[in-house]
Amino acid sequence: IVGGAACSSIISTEDYRNLVNQGSTILTNSASLEIFKGSRIFDWQHRGLVKFMAVANARPLLQSSNNWNAFALDHNGRPLAEIAPIASADVEIRANNKITPYTYLGEWVALIGGIWLASDLLKQYATRLRGKSRS
pLDDT in tens, 3-17: 888 877 777 888 888
Question: Helix, strand, coil: what percent of the chain each, to 5?
Answer: 50, 20, 30
Q: Are 109 and 118 in contact (CB under 8 A)?
A: no
For the chain, where are the E strands, in sequence order?
2-6, 26-32, 61-66, 70-73, 79-83
Per-residue pLDDT of 48-98, as tens digits, reads 999 999 999 999 999 988 878 889 999 999 999 999 888 888 999 998 889
- Which SS3 state, helix, strand or coil, does residue 1 take? coil
